[in-house]
Amino acid sequence: MPAIASAEGCWLTDEGGRRLFDAGSGHSCVNLGYAHEELVAAAAESYRRLAYCSPDHRSRPVMALAEALSARLGGGYRLRYAATGGGANELAIEIARRFWRHQGRAGKRRVIAFDRAYHGSTGAASYASGPGILQSPMVDRSEEFIHVPGARDVMAGRSRGLEEIRAGVEAAIAGAGSGTIAALIVEPVAFAGGVVVPPAGFLAMLAALCRQHGMLLIVDEVINGFGRSGAWFAFQHEAGVRPDIVTMGKGITSAYFPLAAAAVDERIFATFLTPGHAMTKVITMAGHPVGCDVALKVLEIMERDGLVERVLRHGAGVLAGLRALQGAAGLREVRGVGHMWGLEFDSAEAAEAVDEHCLAAGILLLRAGNLIRVNPPLVASEAELGLLVETIGAAVRGIGGG
């Protein structure tokens, strides 16, 4: 892996002076590209005005961002901040458990998640992540986290329909007992797990099951959110779905500052306002005023430049170009939505060959096992995206000798 010396726009420059197109947005987070002067200026101005504010106090950027995010989620949410996406998911799980304790149902602690999910690599977030997804298979597991089959078995190359997924979730609920389950946590698209795009109606089905069985619905938008899917938040592609908690991070500041958040429905948040129920947990760097100012600037730029609409327009073209490769030797399936695309190969060796070809041609991809994931910055130009599709196409045809 090359040592990176600098970056600008969608391009990295290594220590030897070679330029590489970053088709992974760093770690799926640099949505607006590198060296964005407006973001740098917003951070510098914020540092001069208020370099830090204790989470015990209120500040203008922290409150303004909370209002802006709630509005984009549909209104009626209160924000709790964290420093990382995994931290936001840990916070969401703790809030769900405490909510049920407030209702006198302290036994509701278990969490249902999906087998290809990635929710973070620390604490409860690592337990919610599917075994082995972007972490060591030796990571500790917890019996309080139940994993069910998602929309795709990427090893066998088999997709599951809505009814089969529903049956798996219902079996888990029946086996554990709904009286023990606090929440179900889900990514609209399981990007790290292989860009697993579920069938239409997936989130609506899960929301209905949560209502039926008395569970909270936590939607993890850490990767999917902030325009990556072609909507402000990916759950918004399904009409009528309103999560109880929405977690976010990564693109919230385009990675220019460590910041994440859990948006909590006011109905749930209100139970924490009762004397004796307050969240006393303090995260020193959570809700940092500089991070919140940068996030506000990200929202401003995205709206001004129409980036959500741009993702829909460009994403469809890239997906069509990649899908034209289906049928090539070694390539099993292409899938995606917005600025998230995945290529599933018959073998890890085939995926590695494509990855190496692209790296030699100046394109940096994300690869794990037999999967290649692609999610360049949202600001990538049509020419850059065309180069991306052309290079991947040449690599895929090359493994089949075409």
d(CA 38, CA 98): 40
Task: Compare 141 and 36 and report the one with higher pLDDT.
Answer: 36
Tokens 């600025």, residue located: 339
DSSP 8-state secondary structure symbol assigned to residue 197: P
In angstroms and rounded to an integer, the radius of gyration of the C-alpha atoms of the chain is: 21
d(CA 190, CA 194): 7
136: alpha, beta or left? (left if phi > 0; alpha if psi -120 to 50): beta
Contact criterion met (CB below 8 Å) for 234 and 202: no
190 three-state secondary structure: strand
257 three-state secondary structure: coil
Helix ranges, 258-402 (H): 266-269, 289-304, 307-323, 348-360, 382-399
Give the strand order in the sheet containing 371-374: 331-337, 340-345, 371-374, 366-368
Q: Which two tokens stand for residue 386?
A: 């065309």
Name residue 70's amino acid. S
d(CA 49, CA 61): 11
Residue 401: band (very low, low, confident or very high) from pLDDT cuts 50, 70, 90: low
CA 279 to chain centre: 25
- Classify domain 4-30+307-399 at the CATH class level: alpha beta
Domain boundaries, the chain: 4-30+307-399, 40-304
Q: Which two tokens stand for residue 161?
A: 């329909």
**pLDDT score at 402:** 57
172 three-state secondary structure: helix
Q: How many CB atoms lie within 10 A of CB 281?
A: 14
Is the pTM of the predicted complex or chain greater than 0.95? yes
Answer yes or no: same fold for 4-30+307-399 and 40-304: no
Poorest-pLDDT segment among 53-57, 183-187, 249-253, 379-383:
53-57
Q: How many CB atoms lie within 10 A of CB 63?
A: 13
Burial of 13 (0-12, 13-18, 19+ CB in 10 A): middle
Residue 186: band (very low, low, confident or very high) from pLDDT cuts 50, 70, 90: very high
Full DSSP string of 70-101: HHHTTS-EEEEEESSHHHHHHHHHHHHHHHHH
Has residue 358 got a pLDDT over 90? yes
Strand partners, 112: 146, 184
**pLDDT score at 131:** 87
- Residue range 155-176: mean pLDDT, rounded: 97
- Residue range 334-359: mean pLDDT, rounded: 98
What topology is assigned to 40-304 in CATH?
Aspartate Aminotransferase; domain 2 (3.40.640)
- Residue range 230-236: mean pLDDT, rounded: 98
Closest alpha carbon to 180 in 111, 123, 236: 111
331-337 and 340-345: which strand pairing?
antiparallel
N-terminal to C-terminal alpha carbon distance within the chain: 27
246-277 pLDDT tens trace: 999 999 999 999 999 999 999 999 999 988 88
**pLDDT score at 282:** 79
d(CA 82, CA 175): 33
CA 122 to chain centre: 16
Q: How many CB atoms lie within 10 A of CB 54?
A: 10
d(CA 32, CA 254): 6
For 164-191, letters b (16+ CB in 10 Å) and e give ebbebbeebbeeeeeeebbbbbbbbbbb
Has residue 1 got a pLDDT over 70? no
For residue 200, report the phi and psi dihedrals to the nearest 5 degrees: -55, 140
19-22 and 363-364: which strand pairing?
parallel
